[in-house]
Amino acid sequence: GESVGLHLPTLSVQEGDNSIINCAYSNSASDYFIWYKQESGKGPQFIIDIRSNMDKRQGQRVTVLLNKTVKHLSLQIAATQPGDSAVYFCAENNGHSGGGADGLTFGKGTHLIIQP
């Protein structure tokens, strides 16, 4: 079936370095993508989104890149801080996945660990 997945379950980076979290999606009809950050015991927190008519979008310290040719999504976090430690999920909305008309299909997540 169609799904959104992450390449690595855990990513460890040094404080101050840049982090890159990757995501592969399989449904070429997907037209909207979101990155979420989830801390322990909390709900997912919206970070940034991107529509399929774009290939790059920047926020505060974060950049999302979308490569529709290879169906790949990435989240770049600049100058990683201890507060960035969390699980990061990518999610897609194509209106026809198992997520229902507008429900999101989530990957399994990448745990970002910040080393001091």
Partner 1 sequence: GAGVSQSPSNKVTEKGKDVELRCDPISGHTALYWYRQRLGQGLEFLIYFQGNSAPDKSGLPSDRFSAERTGESVSTLTIQRTQQEDSAVYLCASSRTGGDQPQHFGDGTRLSIL
Element (H, E) at 46: strand 45-51
CB of 15 to partner 1, least distance (A): 25
Q: Which residue number, 16 or 59, has a Cβ lying nearer to partner 1?
A: 59
Shortest reach from residue 63's CB to partner 1, in Å: 17
Backbone phi, then psi, for 109, in 5-degree steps?
100, 150
Burial track 8-41 (b if 16+ CB lie within 10 A, e otherwise) = eeebebeeeeebebbbbbebeebeebbbbbeeee
Output the smallest distance, CB 80 to partner 1, in A. 22
Positions touching partner 1 (CB under 8 A) are: 31-32, 34, 36, 41-46, 49, 51, 89, 91, 93, 98-109
* Nearest to partner 1 of 13, 23 (CB atom): 23
Choice between 7 and 51, CB closer to partner 1: 51
DSSP label of 103: -
